[in-house]
Amino acid sequence: MIRGGPGYAAAALVLLFIFGPLIVVFVRAGGGTLPGPADWAAVRFSITQATLSALFSVILAVPVARALARRQFPGRSLLITLLGAPFILPVIVAVLGLLAVFGRSGVLNSVLIWAGLPPVQIYGLHGVVLAHVFFNLPLATRILLQAWQQIPAERFRLAASLNMTAGQVMRRLELPMLRTTLPGAFIVIFAICLSSFTVALTLGGGPKATTVELAIYQAFRFDFDLGRAAVLAVIQTLLAGIVALVALKYSRGEGFGAGLDRVVRRWDAQSAGLRITDTAVMILTALFLLLPLLLVVINGIAGWAKMPDQVFTALRVSLVISLVSTAVALALALPIALAALRRGWIEVIGLLGIVSSPLVLGTGLFLIVYPFADPARLAFAVTGLVNALTALPFVLRVLIPSLRASEKNFGRLADVLGLTGWARLRFLLLPRARRALGFSAGLAAAFSMGDLGVITLFADPSRATLPLQMYRLMGAFRMEAAAGAGLLLLVFSLGLFWMFDKLGRGDVDA
Amino acid sequence: MLTLEKLEIVLDGFTLNADFTLEQGRNLALIGPSGAGKSTLLNVIAGFLRPRSGRVLWQGEDITDLPPGQRPISMLFQDNNLFPHLTVTQNIGLGIRPDLRLNAAERAYLHDALERVGLAGMAGRKPGQLSGGQQSRVALARVLVQRKPLVLLDEPFSALGPALKHDMLRLVGDLMQEIGGTMLMVSHEPEDAQMIADVTSVVAQGTVTAPKPTAALFENPPKVLRDYLGT
């Protein structure tokens, strides 16, 4: 086996980076004012929007997952791949695409005005919920599809031999599965939406649509009230921490959509009516997910020439931050994962990144840095570090199962050959973890590239990452330039993921 | 000389006792019903399992607490005997040096072993590009270069067809003569034992009988063996 020392050191570092800022936040909040009515309104809004977002995502995912589970059609595997895309899609890019469809002068309003109907307004609660459904409907669908496929094919065969109708199959086989799966899917998505910042920043705002995370940002940016920011950060940590821990229990082995390309043969759902329903569901889902992205591409090409030079400076900054934070995430994850082979509880430390939100960590780091140095000068370093800590849980959840499988299948052979330490790493664990390493590096890189979070607290007007630059362009109503930057960001986020994932797949016969 | 001294092995509430000595150069077949503990016994000798009590000795030296890689043992498992991501050369090379830094002499030695098992042209291939029989030969080439005095076989050829399996067993017999080592193999089939094992132990009803000459044992089988063979 491999010595655990470096793993314990890495785990200690993670603990320090997560609890250090948290402790500072709690201490500072102790001297701050008690939460006021505006703060409680933010708590209420956070919970309301997360509840609605999770509810709609989960309910709408049922027909989508059912259609995917029982139909074979051209483009099915493409659609399933697409369902994995929101994970690596920058939130701000998706918001831009949603604005192009549902915004003031978007496609939907053009149609409504043409038909003589009143236009819709995307900003506020329903806009926030819409964006969250855009991101989490695919996730809910993948969770449900996986559960659907865990119903053994023999059950459906038995149902067919008993001549059960589609409705009876639903009642006897599918509803019991949904009853056990839906609560888990709901709580996972609820937790994600509770801590989502970018969507609230771009589509929320105002006293009626401010989440706790957004309130932290506003306390920084508008009032520079660090005490209030700390109080809000404590509230957010308690709120999100509890929910995230519950969600984590449910989300084990969600698997990022791997192995979902199997279709179980069904005899009960062959009627024309059900075929038409499923087809309509598939088309609407594809349209809902693809149209915004398509418009990002089209508008991006149109706005390409309008991009100011700062966009390209910001692109370089973002690329460096992304690569550095990916390297940091892997450098922390690998020793922790190796140590977790011996002592499972080490894994939990790596997962703590989920509990504390990036904005809370940012607040704490700001409070630590502020007395000594200009936080703006450390904006990029802090962003890279926080992104690495946020990506760490996802990297670990891909990496650890891969290492465990290697030890299970080849551990005895390696033992008998005396493969220990570096030799074991080099000839057994690393080569076999190559796919997992590539995939998780891709996740970390794309995530960091597209993240708009902690940077908003630290950056001064002279500094920006690409997502922040894009947000500033949107704020200045330079929508064409923002569209160009959006396309750039989309290409680079997906490109980074593709590149790392490809590197991991080099060895086909391994 | 391998000595199992008052070994008591407990696994999942099931106990197995072994207390015997195997002379150097012997090939021992462990025969008995599945679940009787044949593989468990090999795992204790190899160091993957700790006995509850008793000792494992090699040439009179206690090896009970040594880690698997430091024992004078090479072992072939039922499956996963090769790393699928490494080439044939690398897989065999690990038997010479775990860091794979081979000098010219060691490389030549590896090549001889490859030739010896009849895979001279396959050096650069990966296991996935080989047939099941060829994969077994690669594993045997590694046993050959490891030159460990004690070889344990936990039914590594059970996935092969009968003809191929007999080829492999013959090859094992030849290689064991070259190495001059001691071998323990697990088997279900009496004919396997009769083919290459000069002594046989029966593993059944919680005990391992002391090794007896194979031919004599099958000519006049004791009750445990008769029960197993159904004769």
Helix (H) or strand (E) holding A290: helix A272-303
Which of B90, B93, B125, B116 is CA-nearest to residue B106?
B93
pLDDT for position A482: 93
Distance from CA of A503 to the nearest CA of B (A): 15
CB atoms B85 and A432 under 8 Å: yes
**Cα dihedral across residues B132, B133, B137, B139: positive or negative:** positive
- The C-alpha atoms of residue B10 and residue B12 are separated, in whole angstroms, by 7
Which of B110, B68, B67 is CA-nearest to residue B91?
B110
Least confident of A357-361, A414-418, A428-432, B200-204: A357-361
CB atoms within 10 A of CB A235: 21
pLDDT for position A319: 96
The answer, yes or no, to whether residue A227 has pLDDT greater than 90, is no
pLDDT for position A230: 86
pLDDT in tens, A272-284: 888 888 889 999 9
pLDDT in tens, B95-119: 999 889 999 999 999 999 999 898 9
The answer, yes or no, to whether residue A257 has pLDDT greater than 50, is no
pLDDT for position A414: 92
Distance from CA of A361 to the nearest CA of B (A): 41
CB atoms A510 and B81 under 8 Å: no
Residue B63 · residue B71 · CB < 8 Å: yes
Residue A500 · residue A438 · CB < 8 Å: yes
Query: Given CB atoms, is B101 within the 8 Å cutoff of chain A?
Result: no
In three state form, how does the secondary structure of A108-173 look? HHHHHHHCCCCCCCCCCHHHHHHHHHHHHHHHHHHHHHHHHHCCCHHHHHHHHHCCCCHHHHHHHH
CB atoms A416 and B46 under 8 Å: yes
* pLDDT band at A105; cut points 50, 70, 90: confident
Chain B CB contacts of A415 under 8 Å are: 47-48, 67-69
Helix, strand, coil percentages, rounded to 5, for chain B: 40, 25, 35
* pLDDT band at A255; cut points 50, 70, 90: very low
Residue B1 · residue B20 · CB < 8 Å: no
pLDDT for position A325: 96
Q: What is the ipTM of this complex?
A: 0.85
CB atoms A417 and B95 under 8 Å: yes
pLDDT in tens, A472-495: 999 898 989 999 999 999 999 999
Show the tokens assigned to A37: 């009515």
CB atoms B126 and A410 under 8 Å: no
* pLDDT band at B139; cut points 50, 70, 90: very high
Of the candidates B74, B75, B83, the beta carbon closest to that of A410 is on B83
Mutation choice for A interface testing from B81, B94, B138 by most A CBs within 10 A: B94
CB atoms B48 and A507 under 8 Å: no
- The C-alpha atoms of residue A492 and residue A487 are separated, in whole angstroms, by 9
- The C-alpha atoms of residue B4 and residue B24 are separated, in whole angstroms, by 14
pLDDT for position A32: 64
Chain A CB contacts of B84 under 8 Å are: 509-510
Phi and psi for B19 in degrees, rounded to 5? -155, 90
Q: Residues in chain B, how many?
A: 231
Of the candidates A410, A419, A431, the beta carbon closest to that of B98 is on A419
Which of A450, A128, A68, A65 is CA-nearest to residue A296?
A450
Strands B150-153 and B73-76, by their bridges, are: parallel
Helix (H) or strand (E) holding B4: strand B2-11
Helix (H) or strand (E) holding B187: strand B182-187
What are the beta bridge partners of residue B22? B2
Residue with tokens 């989508």: A64
Average pLDDT of every residue of chain A: 87
DSSP state of A205: B
The whole-number average pLDDT for the span B47-73 is 92
Chain A CB contacts of B70 under 8 Å are: 418
**Interacting residues of A399 by C-beta distance below 8 A, sequence separation 6+:** A333, A334, A337, A433, A436, A437, A440
pLDDT for position A273: 82
- The C-alpha atoms of residue B160 and residue A302 are separated, in whole angstroms, by 64
Least confident of A227-236, A258-267, A468-477: A258-267
CB atoms within 10 A of CB B224: 18
pLDDT for position A116: 87
CB atoms B74 and A416 under 8 Å: yes
Which DSSP string corresponds to A420-489?
-HHHHIIIIIHHHTHHHHHHHHHHHHHHHHH--STHHHH--TT---HHHHHHHHHHTT-HHHHHHHHHHH
Count contacts between A and B (CB, < 8 Å). Answer: 61
Residue A58 · residue A179 · CB < 8 Å: no
* pLDDT band at A438; cut points 50, 70, 90: very high
More confident residue, A351 or A425: A425
Of the candidates B68, B100, B128, the beta carbon closest to that of A416 is on B68
Average pLDDT of every residue of chain B: 91
pLDDT for position B187: 86
DSSP state of B47: T
Residue A413 · residue B80 · CB < 8 Å: yes
The CA-based angle A330-A137-A202, given to 5 degrees, is 75
CB atoms A428 and B83 under 8 Å: yes
Strands B199-204 and B207-208, by their bridges, are: antiparallel
- The C-alpha atoms of residue A476 and residue A471 are separated, in whole angstroms, by 9
The answer, yes or no, to whether residue A42 has pLDDT greater than 50, is yes
Distance from CA of A6 to the nearest CA of B (A): 21
DSSP state of B20: E
pLDDT in tens, A74-90: 888 888 888 888 888 99
Show the tokens assigned to A422: 């570096």
pLDDT for position A7: 85
Query: In chain A, what are the domains?
Result: 5-28+39-504 (1.10.3720.10)
pLDDT in tens, A294-325: 999 999 999 889 889 999 999 999 999 999 99
What are the beta bridge partners of residue B185? B29, B153
Of all residues in chain A, what percent carry a pLDDT higher than 70? 94
The answer, yes or no, to whether residue A336 has pLDDT greater than 70, is yes
* pLDDT band at A256; cut points 50, 70, 90: very low
pLDDT for position A192: 87
Of the candidates B67, B74, B99, the beta carbon closest to that of A423 is on B99
Chain B CB contacts of A509 under 8 Å are: 84-85, 126, 128-129
The answer, yes or no, to whether residue A64 has pLDDT greater than 60, is yes
pLDDT for position A452: 92
- The C-alpha atoms of residue B48 and residue A489 are separated, in whole angstroms, by 52
Could you tell me the CA-to-CA distances from A59 to A63, A86, A217, A293, A337 in Å, in that order? 8, 18, 32, 23, 36
Query: Given CB atoms, is B223 within the 8 Å cutoff of chain A?
Result: no
pLDDT for position B178: 87
Residue A355 · residue A244 · CB < 8 Å: yes
Could you tell me the CA-to-CA distances from B117 to A184, B75, B121, B140, B174 in Å, in that order? 55, 17, 11, 8, 10
pLDDT in tens, A91-100: 999 999 999 9
Of all residues in chain A, what percent carry a pLDDT higher than 90? 38
Least confident of A44-53, A233-242, A444-453, B204-213: A233-242
Distance from CA of B6 to the nearest CA of A (A): 24
Helix, strand, coil percentages, rounded to 5, for chain A: 80, 0, 20
pLDDT for position B185: 94
